[in-house]
A and B are shown apart, each in its own frame.
Chain A
Amino acid sequence: QKEVEQNSGPLSVPEGAIASLNCTYSDRGSQSFFWYRQYSGKSPELIMSIYSNGDKEDGRFTAQLNKASQYVSLLIRDSQPSDSATYLCAVNINQGGKLIFGQGTELSVKP
């Protein structure tokens, strides 16, 4: 079983819709969770951090964490074509700050 799993996509949503990206992880001891956005040919860019169960909102982005279900998600409201990118879920496994990354979900927002 992979330590961090994401649907590879591509996930296609129309402009203005809500995009929902999901991630599951295997290490119950994980305490820190991150979402990165990566445009084609660019480096990963941090967009959300979440440490506690529940929701965390930042502008159009909401991260949701459920440690009991070992599940973290990212919602993007009012999706824009500029949101088209690959979204990487990363989980801290508490070994020297190492992160385990999922394979990423490719999101395409159609005008």
Chain B
Amino acid sequence: NAGVTQTPKFQVLKTGQSMTLQCAQDMNHNSMYWYRQDPGMGLRLIYYSASEGTTDKGEVPNGYNVSRLNKREFSLRLESAAPSQTSVYFCASSGGRSQPQHFGDGTRLSIL
């Protein structure tokens, strides 16, 4: 009963490096989301995918790209990491428009 699985759990990058955060859900949910959480800023939506084949920008999309690989998987890519992207990243999924979101355990990312 995995729910939403995120990899990796921790990562340290140097400025300018790239990396992809992976997210997979096994709940047959249509919608998936990427958030970042910073102290004092709450949860902020980066990108979301309302259904397979679609992606849309959220509140803070700059510096990120996403891919909805299939119904289960939604990845987040940092092309050229910056210290301002140091954060905790959460992936979430939901079954539909009025349904709650279920979160993965998060990825703690530090960029030096």
For window 42-62 of B, CB contacts with A under 8 Å fall at 42-43, 45, 48, 50, 56, 58
List which A6-28 residues lie within 8 A (CB) of chain B.
none
Tell me which of B14-22, B64-72, B76-84, B95-103 binds A.
B95-103
Query: What is the CB-to-nearest-CB distance from A94 to chain B, in angstroms, rounded to a whole number?
Result: 7
Residue of B nearest to A51 (CB): B98
Interface residues on B, range: 20 to 34
Is B25 at the interface (CB under 8 A from chain A)?
Answer: no
Q: Which residues of A contact B50 (CB under 8 A)?
A: 96-97
Name the prevailing secondary structure of the A interface residues.
loop
B97 touches A92 (CB 8 A): yes
Most chain A beta-carbon contacts within 10 A, residue among B43, B48, B105: B43
A103 within 8 A of B: yes
User: Which residue of A is nearest B31, CB measured?
Assistant: A97
Contact partner of A98 (CB less than 8 A), chosen from B58, B103, B106, is B58
Tell me if A65 counts as interface (CB < 8 A to partner B): no
Task: Pick from A44, A46, A96, A102: contact of B90, CB below 8 A.
Answer: A44
List A residues at the B interface (Cβ < 8 Å): 31-32, 34, 42-46, 49, 51, 88, 90, 92, 94, 96-99, 101-104
